[in-house]
Amino acid sequence: MRRHSYRDRLTSPLPGPRDFVRIMREGGFRGSTANADRIPVMRTGLPPLPPGAASWTWIGHASYLVRVGGLCVLTDPVWSTRLPGTPPRLTPPGLSWNDLPAIDAVVISHDHYDHLDAPTLRRLPRNTPILVGAGLGRWFRVRGFHAVTELEWWEHTEIAGVRFDFTPTHHWSRRGLFDTCASLWGGWVITAPDGTRTYHAGDSGYGHRFAEVGARYPGIDVAMMPIGAYEPRWFMRYVHMTPAESVRAVADLGARTMACMHWGTFVLTKEPVDEPLQLVRKEWAAAGGDPANLWSLAVGETRTLGAGDE
């Protein structure tokens, strides 16, 4: 069966053979884990949610549990200890799988293994609503999921009054050898009936699409933004942001609060494992951001908005 291609959505060329030869010559992708003990971990369980409030719990990497509008939503859930081609996980998942509440929806940004983790997804009931980009639904349906919704950029769906919009990012997709850009990558804007609005960037390089999202969806309360996996810059700059670029992207989005992710879990690239946290705090301060609006969370930490907790 001929696959659809989304290569026309790329904003930069994909790496070629010469790039991979160079990266291997320079020592590969993996950085040192020497400072892994500096990654904060707070596995104290999931606190009760006050009526009318929303909360964000960092599970690790790009995985968050978001409780908003009466729903419990998982973003890019990864509970695996190891992913194909990567060293073992540096920090445990912020919540035990058995401590999760019933999951009302799962949003997937794209099909790379650190965002679409098959062993984790197998743990979910097959009637769990799964929201994905166009072209990725079949992956779930052949595994027995039957409440799967595929969306194009700027399309939306609703679950129990909560709206989910799929939005453009600067990235790409590939699961195997022959499916490059066969499914659509993106981020998610989640809007509750009371107007609480959150954004999950998935994976992205820096570019104009953040301003486009901000213009279409004003009033983002919390933006979950990647801050790691950015070195070497010559290779990663088109698909992963530095902490400085993530801070700039939050400004483009017009978001009030930045919740950090995509660091401190797997060693994917060359920067020291604790560097993203140091740099994002520095860049946020340099941009004049309110320290209270930078959520540089510990693994397992929960922050709450609403019901007197703002």
* DSSP for 48-115, written as a single string: PPPTT-EEEEEEETTEEEEEETTEEEEES----S--TTSPPPSS--SS-GGGPPPP-EEE----STTT
Predicted TM-score (pTM) of this structure: 0.96
Alpha helices by DSSP H, listed for the chain, are 17-25, 118-121, 137-141, 209-216, 233-236, 243-253, 275-286
At 231, the pLDDT band (50, 70, 90 cuts) reads very high
Is 120:106 a contact under the CB 8 Å cutoff?
Answer: no
- Which pLDDT tens digit goes with each residue over 265-293? 999 999 999 999 999 999 999 999 999 99
pLDDT at 310 > cutoff 50? no
Burial 193-205 (b: 16+ CB within 10 A, else e): eeebbbbbbbbbb
pLDDT at 2 > cutoff 70? no
- Which pLDDT tens digit goes with each residue over 122-172? 999 999 999 999 999 999 999 999 999 999 999 999 999 999 999 999 999
pLDDT at 76 > cutoff 50? yes
Average pLDDT, the chain: 96
Helix, strand, coil percentages in the chain from 3-state DSSP, rounded to 5: 20, 20, 55
pLDDT value for 56? 98
